Structure 1
Amino acid sequence: MVSIPEFYLGKNVLVTGATGFMGKVLLEKLLRSCPGVKTAYILVRAKAGQNSQARVQEMLNCKLFDRLREEQPDFKEKVVAVSSELTQPELGLGQADKELLISCINIVFHCAATVRFNETLKDAMQLNVVATRQLLAFAQLMKKLEVFIHVSTAYAHCNRKHIEEVIYPPPVDPKKLIEALEWMDDDLVQDITRKLIGERPNTYTYTKAMAEYVVQQECGNLNVAIVRPSIVGASWKEPFPGWIDNFNGPSGLFIAAGKGILRTMRAANSAVADLIPVDVVINMTLAAAWYSGVHRPRNILVYNCTTGGTNPFHWGEVEYHVISTFKRNPLEQAFRRPNVNLTSNHLIYQYWIAVSHKAPAFLYDVYLRLTGRKPRMMKVINRLHRSMMLVEYFTSHSWVWNTDNINMLMSQMNQDDKKVFNCDVRQLHWAEYMENYCMGTKKYVLNEELSGLPAARKHLIKLRNIRYAFNTILVVLIWRVFIARSQMARNIWYFVVSLCFKFLSYFRASSTMRY
């Protein structure tokens, strides 16, 4: 059987969503590990005053491509930006671009999607379902197409506890829903959204499930595979450990915890945190295209790219490793010392929100007002709470995913491919990965240099001393206001103090006798 790099030799590849997190990692890995690939065509729309070529050039200059730049200095010559709008008929392509792609594309990687959990149903359907339909229709015109890879999510069917590697039918026909949404006004759409998505937590998971069904129903004779990653996190090994470039998913929460802003979170300590490194997902994706291209299976193969069934990691462990890392290597200008309390109890959660989030934020804003500055911390806290509400469904539940196709895929790879395109999450050491992940947010998202660590550690010590002083003042005030004025309270206080004194005396005496 041909190896993975040999399969991509001389191939023309089309990538959607290449300017997104996973898309750019896929492009980098493809060019670096499959140097024989001919051309990578990137569908990208103009944005924020930049045309498609400028956006792609800016992306190729980022840190992610440094290793590729050293190994293949001329790699940019293989990347071609194509102006496109996926939701438009024929993808909004110009005639010349359309003819070129139809005549030469061998492999399509469809990574483009909106990953916003709070996207309106109408926009989510356009970006995740309509765009997929348009791309499938265009792909069927391609004369040399060998494989079409659709990137979905492991949570597309999160209304089920046990998720197999199959495409489940949606509760509503996607075509009929698309037609209905065209004439509905925004208020009506908002009113029916909750009833439509049912047990799913948001429009993202709902529309990704719809998109899978569209792929199955409208792929025609295309050779298709679907890749379903769970919670995609920072890179494990490639192109270097801990690379991450955004606040999406858990990254923003890790940073908020490291800054001392996030102090409590609605989560079950024992729930599985199904994190999967982005480079593992990309390796699986490239390998899935290779397998389908070589074997041309009869049915659509679905790959659940997850870790929970193979190498489980829990939210309680996530919290421990994040806090431990940021205490050793603090973020600059932290608001408070890192410390997060996870709870699944609603009342306890609301108590900690009031005590650990809102009260400190309010006091800090008062301080800013008194010093003539603009208050901002309550806005930050409110924005954080909105983000936490969007993810608490995933931090409070666990799922079981079937991964037979993933195991089959790894068994078909030769030894060299298993090393270069490593998909084996059994080798993943979570403590090391989480430390690299947290340090990656510090280095690549916040652009903080390691040379600033001594100052950050001093700032953390200062925050600790402020906390001790505040607690001391609080105890004195409680004593003066409540205990000193009540005989019963004083008696209880003296009783507790005497017990502590007796315990310490006993402990000291026992230690002396042993010595």
Structure 2
Amino acid sequence: MSSVSAFYNGKTILITGATGFMGKVLVEKLLRSSPEVKAVYILVRPKAGQSMQERVANMLKCKVFDRVREDCPNFHEKIKPINAELTQPKLAISAEDEEELLTRVNIVFHCAATVRFDEPLKHALQLNAMGTQRLLELARQMQNLEAFIHISTAYANCIRKCIDEVIYPPPAEPKKLFDLVEWLDESIIQDITPKLLGAWPNTYTYTKALSEYLIQQERGNLNIAIIRPSIVGASWHEPFPGWIDSFNGTSGIFIAAGKGILRTVLANNEAVADMIPVDVAINLTLAAGWYTAVHRPKNTLVFNCTTGGINPFFWGEMGMPQGLIDHILFHHSPGKGEGFPADCWKTQPAFRTSDLLWLFHRSKTFAPLMLPLCFRMMKIINRLHKSMMLLQYFSTQSWDWSSDNMNMLMSHLNTEDKKLYNFDVRQLHWSEYIESYCLGAKKYLLNEDMAGIPAAKQHLRKLRNIRYAFNTTLLVIIWRIFIARSQMARNIWYFVVSLCYKFLSYFRASSTLRH
């Protein structure tokens, strides 16, 4: 019997961020592995013109729930949406809903956050830090709460090269910072943001570090655990291999490379690409919730959910010529590309400047394309370049994360739990995972038909032949106009042409004899 699954049966769960990438996987895994769970409350706010009910309805239509839909067609009846807003006082929850949560909830999973690296500081603070603080205030009043699990990030303390499973001092005093952004004008906050961030690369990691410190300071008597996943990628096994519904992180890079838009990546070939499959992070989260509630540790437990120190995978392995991305996207499983697919996805050393990268993308992408297509893709290229600049900090250096608590938790799981809630990244084969990831991005993000891969391979060969012909013609023109002005240059030119002709004649004759 699975101790973790049995623990959640009969429990009432509260989840924030349930409509997000990790949140959906958490809800699905919880309902599928513990079918007798009593209820799952999810805090949802209206967004992008959609009401709370519409957002929940769209979430439940998602393919991620197909497996649990087959096993339990009425699974949606256990999901109880509550209208809430983390940036508002008391979460903007009605008195009736608040009373229901205070008397029924047993476990809280706090997944909600803005993951945008360039989020304005005020909004990032309101959602990631102040929202966590307000949720803690609510949790301390819950009468039957057994555990509070907070999803942070492995890069919350990225200014340190060696990161232990502890909570570090904050980059600033949270309450003073909250007061500061409340009365300052938005333009002034934007101007002083670089000074406030200091060594932190963006507002996301900065506010996550603040949130961890707030949890330690205001936990009260709560049993709390913090999960720190690194770069969260497509699923390894569950609910489907390669499932992904977010363009964030490496997903957007893979897709842009497959479309031929991304030609180079600003990365250090020797740096660790610390990706973690989303189902690994969720399995660890659920196991940590069980352990925290049952064993009630005295201190806040922190779990570094990373792969670099256990099963490292490097940027150079992923993208250098003849690397995994090159093989999967351009040879094994090409898709329908816009423009001309790249020969390979190259990583570049860290000393390349942003201006050179900007020019390289444009020149390499646009050279073979017609002018109207260039204008249509300019906006995409600009957005891609901006994303690459934001990711540069993480793709050009490595960190050392300790994993003692993760190993300790694994030792407390029985044999069945180790199968159902597998977060042992030593079993992860990177070549298989990256292939599954790329195919999943094509299937779930781009809705491409996998049956069209043979036709895509043929199309890719045609595009390459066209590009080779274009480059050859361009070379000939440049030679004739700018170089072939001397007798020696003309002699070299005629020699090369005659040599090529002889080779072609030889291969044609050999082919005729074979047939």
Per-residue deviation, 1:479: 2.0
Counterparts of 1:112-123 in structure 2 under 5 Å? 112-123=112-123
The amino acid across from 2:384 in the alignment is L
Distance 2:139 2:357 in 1: 52
On the 8 A contact 2:318/2:325 being kept in 1, the answer is yes
In 1, the alpha carbon distance for the partners of 2:357 and 2:87 equals 44
Distance (Å, rounded) in 2 between the aligned partners of 1:262 and 1:97: 48
> SS of the residue aligned with 1:149?
strand
Q: What's the secondary structure of 1:283's corresponding residue?
A: helix
Structural mapping, 1:439-458, within 5 Å:
439-458=439-458
| Separation (CA, whole Å) in 1 of partners of 2:183 and 2:486 | 70
Task: Give the Cα–Cα distance (whole angstroms) in 2 for the partners of residues 411 and 89 of structure 1.
Answer: 41
* Amino acid in structure 2 at the alignment position of 1:342: T
How far is 1:180 from its partner? 0.4
Q: What residue in structure 1 maps to residue 282 of structure 2?
A: 282
Which deviations, in whole Å up to 9, do the C-alpha atoms of 1:448-497 show, x marking residues without a partner? 11122233222211211111111110121122013321345457768999
Q: Is the CA contact (8 Å cut-off) linking 2:303 and 2:406 kept in structure 1?
A: yes
Is structure 2 residue 333 aligned with structure 1 residue 329?
yes
SS of residue matched to 1:440: helix
Q: Aligned with 1:103: secondary structure?
A: helix
Distance in 2 of aligned mates of 1:227 and 1:488: 69
TM-score normalised to the size of structure 2?
A: 0.92
**Once structures 1 and 2 are overlaid, which stretch shifts more, 465-474 or 437-446?**
465-474
Letter in 1 for 2:459: H
- Structure 1 pair 414–268 and aligned structure 2 pair: CA distance change class (3 A): same
> Any conservation in 2 of the 1:223–1:292 contact (CA below 8 Å)?
yes
Contact kept in structure 1, 2:153 and 2:229, CA below 8 Å: yes
Measure how far apart 1:49 and its partner are: 3.0
Q: How many residue pairs are counted as aligned between the two chains?
A: 499
**Cα distance in 1 between the residues matched to 2:494 and 2:160:** 57
Aligned partners of 2:254 and 2:358: how far apart in 1? 17
Aligned residue for 1:417, secondary structure, equals: helix
Structure 1: state its 5+ residue gaps.
370-374, 502-515
Percent sequence identity is 61
CA contact (8 A) 1:365 1:377 kept: no
- Higher mean alpha-carbon deviation, 333-342 vs 58-67, is at 333-342
Q: Name the CA distance, whole Å, in 1 between partners of 2:203 and 2:466.
A: 44
1:139 aligns with 2:139: yes
Report the secondary structure of 1:364's partner residue.
Answer: coil
1:37, distance to aligned residue in structure 2 (A): 1.1
Note closer, same or farther for the CA distance 1:92–1:367 as it changes in structure 2 (3 Å cut). Answer: closer
Cα 1:81/1:462, change in 2 over 3 Å: same
Tell me which residue corresponds to 1:202. 202
Distance 1:379 1:147, change over 3 A: same
How far apart are the structure 2 equivalents of 1:493 and 1:449?
47
Residues in 1 aligned to 2:337 and 2:242: alpha-carbon distance in whole angstroms: 22
1: CA distance, partners of 2:23 / 2:117: 19
Equivalent in the alignment of 2:174: 174
SS for the counterpart of 1:298 is coil
Structure 1 equivalent of residue 479 of structure 2: 479
1:9 matched to 2:9? The reply is: yes
1:197-253 Cα offsets, whole Å, 9 max, x none, are: 111110000000000001111111111000000000000000110000121111011
Matches within 5 A, 1:356-371: 356-358=361-363, 360-361=365-366, 364=369, 366-368=371-373
| 2:110 and 2:149 in contact (8 A); partners too | yes
Matched, 1:226 2:219: no
1:367 shift after superposition: 4.2
Q: Which residue in 1 is equivalent to 2:504? A: none
| 1:63 counterpart residue number | 63
* Structure 1 counterpart of 2:284, one-letter code: M
The change in CA–CA distance for 1:351 and 1:193 in structure 2 (over 3 A counts) is closer
Tell which deviates more after alignment, 294-303 or 347-356: 347-356
Partner Cα separation in structure 1 for residue 79 and residue 446 of structure 2: 28
Identify if the C-alpha distance between structure 1 residues 415 and 191 changes in structure 2 by more than 3 Å, giving closer, same or farther.
same
C-alpha RMSD over aligned residues = 2.3
Give 1:47 deviation, angstroms.
1.7
TM-score w.r.t. the length of structure 1 is 0.92
2:349 alignment counterpart: 344
Partner residue of 1:102?
Answer: 102
Letter in 1 for 2:431: A
1 CA distance for matches of 2:350 and 2:139?
Answer: 49
Contact map agreement 2:350 2:396 (CA 8 A) in 1: no
Matched, 1:270 2:270: yes
More off after superposition, 457-466 vs 293-302: 457-466
SS in 2 for 1:376: helix
Aligned 8 A contact 2:13 2:107 in 1: yes
Cα separation, partners in 2 of 1:270 and 1:222, compared to 1, 3 Å: same
